[in-house]
Amino acid sequence: MKPLIIVNFKCYDKATGHNGLKIAAYCSTYDNVIVCPQAIDLDNISAIPGLNVFSQHVDPVLEGPFTGKMGINVLKKAGVKGSLLNHSENRLKFETIAETVSLLKKNGLKSLICCESLDEAAKFAKLRPDYICFEPKSLIGKTQSVADLNPELITTISKAVKPVKLIIGAGIDSPKEVREVLLRGAVGVIVASSVIKSDDPRKIIKELANA
């Protein structure tokens, strides 16, 4: 099974505008890679043939008088396939998450809910998103991951969220870690700084996608 690799561009200069388009183009080579660009780049990056694109966030609104919100209809028209929700850098109330997942489903878009604990994972899985992403906040941006420090926890969470697919994040930066999370029942990983801050993003993407 190919691992699913989700590349979160966050708000890095190295992944904005032309820089973001270059990284997205590298990712489009692989059918098992999803990119999460900044909102301002969604239109341009979604136009790249064969590329799967998620937004970093969406609000539980379709369209209308919602200044500052990201509407679901905007994503659909841009060709976006789904959205992250509740990243540790943009936490949401449970009620907001539930409403947003429901609206995404009704409009044919996928949802990925981020969580920081086993309890959260089990709670969010009841909403039946497409993916649950487990990211221990203390490891985000670090050089060690839960695959290194506590791989058994991945197995436990994978069982707790079934039939929802599990993604693992925080500190993932090597093919070895990708293989470990697959062995433990996850379907893929989410990465950011290990790709975006790399001197050679193309090389890192290739290594992870082919793990």
Catalytic residue (choose from 57, 87, 177, 180): 87
- The pTM of this model reads 0.95
The tens digit of pLDDT for each residue in 133-153 reads 999 877 676 667 887 778 899
Tokens (6 digits) for 40 = 């301002």
Is residue 61 exposed (0-12), middle (13-18) or buried (19+ Cβ within 10 Å)?
middle
The structural domains of the chain, ordered by start, are 4-209 (3.20.20.70)
135 catalytic? Reply is yes
Catalytic residue (choose from 135, 152, 177, 207): 135
Closest CA to 134 of 163, 161, 174, 103: 161
Cβ atoms 75, 42 nearer than 8 A: yes
Q: What is the C-alpha separation between 9 and 34, in angstroms, rounded?
A: 11
87 catalytic? Reply is yes
* Identity of residue 84: L
* Identity of residue 78: A
Residue 183 confidence class, pLDDT cut points 50, 70, 90: very high
The tens digit of pLDDT for each residue in 23-69 reads 999 999 999 999 999 999 999 999 999 999 999 999 999 999 999 99
